[in-house]
Amino acid sequence: MLAYLHLQQEIRKAEITRDLVHAEREILEKRVSLMRPDRLDPDLLEERARVLLNFGRKDEVQIMLQRPQALPPEIAVN
């Protein structure tokens, strides 16, 4: 019975991870679609170029966020 409960917990964690990855993929697919030549978004192009070239305006402050490398504590494996 304990093994079954443990497996159920692992399945739930895997489902949460799957949902997070799916949501991130949808966001990335939307951004990629905006970079296609027939639908190029000038603001997105400028943003990506400035990030890649490390350019900024004098009146701007850039905040670089790092993605978490681990699962959130509520779904982390104990």
* Spatial distance between the Cα atoms of 10 and 7, rounded to a whole number of angstroms: 5
Angle at the Cα of 3 from the Cα atoms of 68 and 16, rounded to 5 degrees: 30
Please state the φ and ψ torsions of residue 3, each to the nearest 5 degrees: -65, -40
pLDDT the model gives residue 75 = 60
For the stretch 59-73, pLDDT in tens is: 877 677 776 666 666
pLDDT the model gives residue 72 = 60
The chain-wide mean pLDDT, for the chain, equals 82
pLDDT the model gives residue 53 = 86
Residues of the chain short of pLDDT 50, as ranges, are: 78
